[in-house]
C-alpha cells in the first residue's frame, strides 16, 4: 500500500544562485531543514536564533550538507525588540540584498509574563517579533524584488481571538490560547501587508505546517507533559524534512507569483479564518502592532 506524500507538489528544482535568504529559527526543526534546502539551491543563507552555540552547530551542519559555504549565523532574540532592531540594522548594513524572508520562529510553554517591551511573552515571541523584523526589512526586500516573505502560522489559529483591549494581558488566556491568538495575528498581518505592499514586487504568504516530528513542547514546564506531548509528535507527526518543503516552495516557486496574501497547507491554498476579509479589523491590527512595537518615524516606510 502506497503512503500518500502531501508534499509531492511542493517539489521544485528552482535555483537560487546570487539570492539571499533569511530563515528565523533556523537552528532546528523545520527552519533548519528549510535553510539547508535553500543553501543546496545556491542561496546565501542567514539563519537567526538566540542561542550562539546552536547557531554555530547549525551553520556547520548546513554547510556540510549543502556544500555551500555562504551560510551566516546571526544572533537574535524575539524576547527583546531591541535585539530584533539590532539584527535588522546589521542585516541591512551588511547585506546588499534580501530575496527571501521565512518567519519560522515559534514557541509554546513560555512563562505568562510581560517582556521588557511591555508585551506578553508568548505574543511577542510568536507574533510581534516577526512583525517588527518584517517591517524593518521590507525596504531591503523591496529593493531586491521580486522577493518573498513566508509567515509560518498554525491550524491553532482557528481557536484564536484578537481582543485589542486585552491582547497583552497577563493571565487573560491559557498558554495555548496565547499561541492561538499569535498564530491568528500572523495570518491577519499577512493579508493586511499584502494589501499595503501590492505592486512593490514583494509577495507575502502564510502557511500551516501541520504536525511534525519535532520537540515543539521543549519549553513546557511539566516534565510529564513535555515527554508525553513530544512523544506524541514523534508518533503522529510528519517527517520534518518533508514539512520543510512547504516554506521553501512558497519562497521560490514561480507558480505562486499571483497568490500573494494567501494561506497554504500541504502546498495548496487553504482556508484560514473569517476575519481575513474584514479589512477594518486587519487594518486595526496592523496599526496597533505598529504602535505596540513602537515603529519610529525613521523606521516607518508608510509615511
Catalytic machinery residues: 179
Alpha carbon distances (Å) from 102 to 34, 117, 184, 238: 9, 24, 17, 20
CA geometry: angle 120, 106, 35, nearest 5 deg? 145
If we measure between CA atoms, which residue out of 54, 53, 102, 46 comes closest to residue 74? 46
* Spatial contact of 62 and 101, defined as CB atoms under 8 Å apart: no
Whole-number Å distance between alpha carbons of 176 and 44 = 35
Amino acid at each position: 500500500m502506497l503512503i500518500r506524500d502531501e508534499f509531492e507538489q511542493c517539489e521544485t528544482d528552482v535555483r537560487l544562485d546570487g539570492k539571499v535568504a533569511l530563515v528565523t529559527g533556523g537552528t532546528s526543526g523545520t527552519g533548519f531543514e528549510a535553510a539547508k534546502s535553500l543553501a543546496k539551491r545556491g542561496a546565501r543563507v542567514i539563519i537567526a536564533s538566540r542561542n550562539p552555540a546552536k547557531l554555530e552547530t547549525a551553520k556547520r551542519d548546513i554547510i556540510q550538507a549543502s556544500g555551500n559555504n555562504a551560510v551566516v549565523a546571526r544572533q537574535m532574540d524575539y524576547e527583546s525588540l531591541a535585539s530584533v532592531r539590532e539584527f535588522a540594522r546589521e542585516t541591512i548594513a551588511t547585506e546588499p540584498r534580501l530575496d527571501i524572508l521565512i518567519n519560522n520562529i515559534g514557541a509554546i510553554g513560555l512563562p505568562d509574563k510581560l517582556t521588557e517591551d511591555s508585551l506578553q511573552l508568548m505574543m511577542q515571541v510568536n507574533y510581534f517579533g516577526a512583525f517588527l523584523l518584517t517591517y524593518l526589512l521590507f525596504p531591503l526586500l523591496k529593493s531586491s524584488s521580486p522577493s518573498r516573505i513566508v509567515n509560518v502560522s498554525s491550524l491553532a489559529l482557528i481557536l484564536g481571538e484578537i481582543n485589542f483591549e486585552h491582547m497583552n494581558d497577563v493571565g487573560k488566556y491559557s498558554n495555548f490560547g496565547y499561541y492561538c491568538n499569535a498564530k491568528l495575528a500572523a495570518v491577519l498581518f499577512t493579508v493586511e501587508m499584502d494589501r499595503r505592499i501590492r505592486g512593490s514586487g514583494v509577495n507575502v504568504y502564510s502557511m500551516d505546517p501541520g504536525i511534525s516530528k519535532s520537540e515543539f513542547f521543549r519549553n513546557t514546564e511539566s516534565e510529564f507533559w513535555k515527554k508525553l506531548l513530544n512523544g506524541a509528535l514523534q508518533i503522529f507527526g510528519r517527517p520534518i524534512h518533508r514539512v520543510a518543503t512547504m516554506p521553501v516552495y512558497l519562497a521560490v516557486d514561480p507558480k505562486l507569483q499571483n497568490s500573494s496574501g494567501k494561506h497554504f497547507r500541504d502546498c495548496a491554498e487553504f482556508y484560514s479564518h473569517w476575519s481575513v476579509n474584514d479589512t477594518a479589523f486587519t487594518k486595526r491590527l496592523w496599526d496597533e502592532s505598529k504602535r505596540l512595537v513602537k515603529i519610529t518615524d525613521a523606521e516607518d516606510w508608510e509615511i
